[in-house]
A = this chain, B = another copy of it.
């Protein structure tokens, strides 16, 4: 038995967003290229990117030479946005108010009037700390950690897929 963990699509799309940052909002990158670059399942990655598009993080352009591109400046996209988009911003801890059940069913109104459940409060506070930490990390910060060699390698690979205005007889 392992433990609670958030969908691994978060990791995938986070890396993809860093790649998209490298190419700006002008040049769309197909999901198939991103998947091939990182050795991921193309269709499944596409599914995750769709969620990001539905939440307004990236724009999707269909047709030839289409793909995904950042919808906003990279500084304005944070890890919290990614998690919210993929995981549905639902609270990690869902209070079912069991303090008002069983023996205490009759007094639920009285109990709730005496104050909020402290367990739920503590959990929410911890979750706020988590989200706050995530919201302070933008795609720009993440991109700064990629070494130059990898960036160049990516650039060449994507440009090979998009012969945008050069060579080839």
Contacts and interface: CB of A to CB of B under 8 A. Distances in A.
B122 A129 contact: no
Given A38-B98, A88-B3, A123-B79, A11 B149 contact: no
B119 A134 contact: no
B87 A10 contact: no
Contacts of A89: 3
A53 interface: no
B134 A126 contact: yes
Interface residues of A, number: 67
Count chain B CB atoms within 10 A of each CB in A4, A89, A134 and give the residue with the most: A4
Given A2-B88, A3-B89, A145-B117, A103 B133 contact: no
A150 B99 contact: yes
A122 B137 contact: yes
A50 to B, nearest CB: 13
Contacts of A119: 11, 14-15, 79, 142
A90 interface: yes
A111 B147 contact: yes
Nearest to A79: B122
A159 interface: no
Interface of A: 1-8, 10-12, 14-15, 36-40, 79, 87-96, 98-99, 101-105, 107, 110-111, 114-115, 117-119, 122-123, 125-127, 129-134, 137, 141-142, 144-147, 149-150, 153-154, 157
5 contacts: A3-B89, A3-B90, A11-B96, A103-B153, A122-B141
